[in-house]
Amino acid sequence: MKNLLILGSILFISGTSAQASNNPFDNLPNYNSSHQQSATRYASNRHQERHNFLTIQIERTAKSHLGKTYEWGATGPYTFDCSGFTQAVYAQYGITIPRVSRDQAKVGKFIRWEDLKKGDLIFFDSKKSSQVSHVGIYLGGGKFIHASSSKHQVVISNLNSNYYSSHFKLGRRFV
Protein backbone atom coordinates (compact mmCIF):
# COMPACT_ATOMS: atom_id res chain seq x y z
CA MET A 1 0.00 0.00 0.00
CA LYS A 2 1.34 3.43 -0.94
CA ASN A 3 0.91 6.38 1.39
CA LEU A 4 1.17 10.04 0.52
CA LEU A 5 2.33 12.75 2.88
CA ILE A 6 2.56 16.38 1.88
CA LEU A 7 4.47 18.80 4.09
CA GLY A 8 4.65 22.28 2.64
CA SER A 9 5.97 21.75 -0.83
CA ILE A 10 7.75 18.47 -0.03
CA LEU A 11 6.04 15.26 -1.13
CA PHE A 12 6.88 11.91 0.47
CA ILE A 13 5.54 8.65 -0.90
CA SER A 14 6.08 5.53 1.11
CA GLY A 15 5.05 1.93 0.70
CA THR A 16 5.63 -1.57 1.87
CA SER A 17 8.25 -3.82 0.36
CA ALA A 18 10.57 -6.65 1.29
CA GLN A 19 13.45 -4.17 1.41
CA ALA A 20 14.25 -1.74 4.15
CA SER A 21 11.70 1.05 4.54
CA ASN A 22 12.10 4.13 2.38
CA ASN A 23 9.88 6.13 4.71
CA PRO A 24 11.90 9.20 5.73
CA PHE A 25 9.86 9.43 8.93
CA ASP A 26 10.67 5.95 10.28
CA ASN A 27 13.75 7.22 12.10
CA LEU A 28 12.05 10.22 13.67
CA PRO A 29 11.34 9.93 17.38
CA ASN A 30 7.64 9.85 18.35
CA TYR A 31 6.55 9.23 14.76
CA ASN A 32 4.22 6.34 13.95
CA SER A 33 1.89 5.20 11.22
CA SER A 34 -1.05 7.08 12.73
CA HIS A 35 0.67 10.28 11.59
CA GLN A 36 0.77 8.89 8.06
CA GLN A 37 -2.88 7.88 8.29
CA SER A 38 -3.79 11.38 9.43
CA ALA A 39 -1.87 12.90 6.54
CA THR A 40 -3.54 10.53 4.07
CA ARG A 41 -6.95 11.34 5.52
CA TYR A 42 -6.13 15.06 5.27
CA ALA A 43 -5.15 14.69 1.58
CA SER A 44 -8.37 12.78 0.91
CA ASN A 45 -10.45 15.45 2.64
CA ARG A 46 -8.70 18.20 0.65
CA HIS A 47 -9.47 16.32 -2.58
CA GLN A 48 -13.15 16.07 -1.56
CA GLU A 49 -13.25 19.77 -0.68
CA ARG A 50 -11.75 20.66 -4.09
CA HIS A 51 -14.29 18.39 -5.81
CA ASN A 52 -17.19 19.98 -3.90
CA PHE A 53 -15.95 23.50 -4.64
CA LEU A 54 -15.49 22.75 -8.33
CA THR A 55 -18.90 21.13 -8.75
CA ILE A 56 -20.56 24.10 -7.02
CA GLN A 57 -18.75 26.46 -9.40
CA ILE A 58 -19.71 24.36 -12.43
CA GLU A 59 -23.35 24.42 -11.31
CA ARG A 60 -23.25 28.18 -10.72
CA THR A 61 -21.70 28.84 -14.14
CA ALA A 62 -24.16 26.51 -15.89
CA LYS A 63 -27.14 28.18 -14.18
CA SER A 64 -25.87 31.62 -15.21
CA HIS A 65 -26.77 30.56 -18.78
CA LEU A 66 -30.38 29.61 -17.99
CA GLY A 67 -32.73 30.99 -20.64
CA LYS A 68 -30.04 31.52 -23.26
CA THR A 69 -31.13 30.48 -26.74
CA TYR A 70 -30.52 27.02 -28.19
CA GLU A 71 -28.94 27.08 -31.63
CA TRP A 72 -27.57 23.98 -33.34
CA GLY A 73 -23.77 24.23 -33.67
CA ALA A 74 -23.47 27.20 -31.28
CA THR A 75 -20.76 27.27 -28.61
CA GLY A 76 -21.70 30.44 -26.73
CA PRO A 77 -21.48 32.86 -25.17
CA TYR A 78 -25.03 33.95 -26.10
CA THR A 79 -26.38 30.84 -27.82
CA PHE A 80 -25.54 27.16 -27.35
CA ASP A 81 -26.28 23.69 -28.57
CA CYS A 82 -26.11 20.93 -25.96
CA SER A 83 -22.47 19.95 -26.36
CA GLY A 84 -21.33 23.52 -26.96
CA PHE A 85 -22.94 24.35 -23.61
CA THR A 86 -21.18 21.56 -21.68
CA GLN A 87 -17.88 22.29 -23.41
CA ALA A 88 -18.11 26.02 -22.59
CA VAL A 89 -19.04 25.45 -18.93
CA TYR A 90 -16.27 22.91 -18.33
CA ALA A 91 -13.72 25.08 -20.16
CA GLN A 92 -14.28 27.82 -17.57
CA TYR A 93 -12.53 25.48 -15.10
CA GLY A 94 -9.72 24.26 -17.34
CA ILE A 95 -11.47 21.01 -18.27
CA THR A 96 -11.09 20.34 -21.99
CA ILE A 97 -13.67 18.03 -23.54
CA PRO A 98 -14.45 17.28 -27.21
CA ARG A 99 -16.89 19.46 -29.15
CA VAL A 100 -19.77 17.05 -29.91
CA SER A 101 -21.81 14.94 -27.47
CA ARG A 102 -20.98 11.66 -29.22
CA ASP A 103 -17.25 12.33 -28.66
CA GLN A 104 -17.75 13.75 -25.14
CA ALA A 105 -19.40 10.42 -24.22
CA LYS A 106 -16.15 8.57 -25.04
CA VAL A 107 -13.90 10.39 -22.53
CA GLY A 108 -13.87 10.75 -18.76
CA LYS A 109 -14.74 8.10 -16.20
CA PHE A 110 -17.79 5.96 -17.03
CA ILE A 111 -20.61 6.49 -14.51
CA ARG A 112 -23.82 4.46 -14.13
CA TRP A 113 -27.19 6.11 -13.41
CA GLU A 114 -27.13 5.07 -9.73
CA ASP A 115 -23.63 6.53 -9.22
CA LEU A 116 -24.26 10.00 -10.70
CA LYS A 117 -22.93 12.98 -8.77
CA LYS A 118 -23.31 16.71 -9.20
CA GLY A 119 -21.13 17.90 -12.08
CA ASP A 120 -21.20 14.65 -14.08
CA LEU A 121 -22.05 14.85 -17.76
CA ILE A 122 -25.06 12.75 -18.69
CA PHE A 123 -25.75 11.46 -22.18
CA PHE A 124 -28.89 10.46 -24.02
CA ASP A 125 -29.99 8.87 -27.26
CA SER A 126 -33.15 9.92 -29.11
CA LYS A 127 -36.32 8.43 -30.54
CA LYS A 128 -34.56 8.35 -33.92
CA SER A 129 -31.28 6.67 -32.94
CA SER A 130 -29.64 4.63 -30.20
CA GLN A 131 -26.41 6.64 -30.58
CA VAL A 132 -25.58 9.44 -28.16
CA SER A 133 -27.20 12.62 -29.43
CA HIS A 134 -27.66 14.83 -26.34
CA VAL A 135 -25.71 15.85 -23.22
CA GLY A 136 -26.35 17.80 -20.04
CA ILE A 137 -24.77 18.45 -16.64
CA TYR A 138 -26.18 16.56 -13.65
CA LEU A 139 -27.13 18.86 -10.75
CA GLY A 140 -28.09 16.19 -8.21
CA GLY A 141 -31.53 15.35 -6.89
CA GLY A 142 -32.64 13.98 -10.25
CA LYS A 143 -32.18 17.34 -12.03
CA PHE A 144 -29.87 18.32 -14.87
CA ILE A 145 -29.16 21.43 -16.91
CA HIS A 146 -28.83 21.42 -20.68
CA ALA A 147 -29.34 23.36 -23.88
CA SER A 148 -32.63 21.88 -25.03
CA SER A 149 -33.53 21.81 -28.72
CA SER A 150 -37.20 21.16 -27.87
CA LYS A 151 -37.41 24.05 -25.37
CA HIS A 152 -35.16 26.24 -27.56
CA GLN A 153 -33.07 27.38 -24.57
CA VAL A 154 -30.89 26.35 -21.63
CA VAL A 155 -33.19 24.75 -19.05
CA ILE A 156 -33.22 22.51 -15.99
CA SER A 157 -35.04 19.21 -16.54
CA ASN A 158 -36.01 16.18 -14.49
CA LEU A 159 -33.86 13.15 -15.25
CA ASN A 160 -36.62 10.91 -13.88
CA SER A 161 -39.16 12.08 -16.49
CA ASN A 162 -40.40 9.39 -18.85
CA TYR A 163 -38.47 10.75 -21.83
CA TYR A 164 -35.09 11.32 -20.19
CA SER A 165 -35.10 8.19 -18.03
CA SER A 166 -35.90 6.01 -21.05
CA HIS A 167 -33.23 7.66 -23.23
CA PHE A 168 -30.41 7.87 -20.66
CA LYS A 169 -27.27 6.14 -21.95
CA LEU A 170 -24.45 6.87 -19.48
CA GLY A 171 -22.67 9.40 -17.36
CA ARG A 172 -19.07 10.58 -17.48
CA ARG A 173 -17.07 12.17 -14.66
CA PHE A 174 -14.34 14.73 -15.21
CA VAL A 175 -14.28 16.40 -11.79
Q: Which residues are catalytic?
A: 82, 134, 146
CA nearest to 23, candidates 34, 36, 41: 36
Which residues have CB under 8 Å from 45's CB, separation 6+? none
Question: Residues near 71 by Cβ (< 8 Å), separated by ≥ 6?
Answer: 79, 80, 81
Beta bridge partners of 144: 138, 157
Cis peptide before 77 (omega within 30 of 0): yes
Q: Which residues contact 141 (CB under 8 A, 6 or more apart)?
A: none
As a whole number of Å, the end-to-end CA separation of the chain is 25
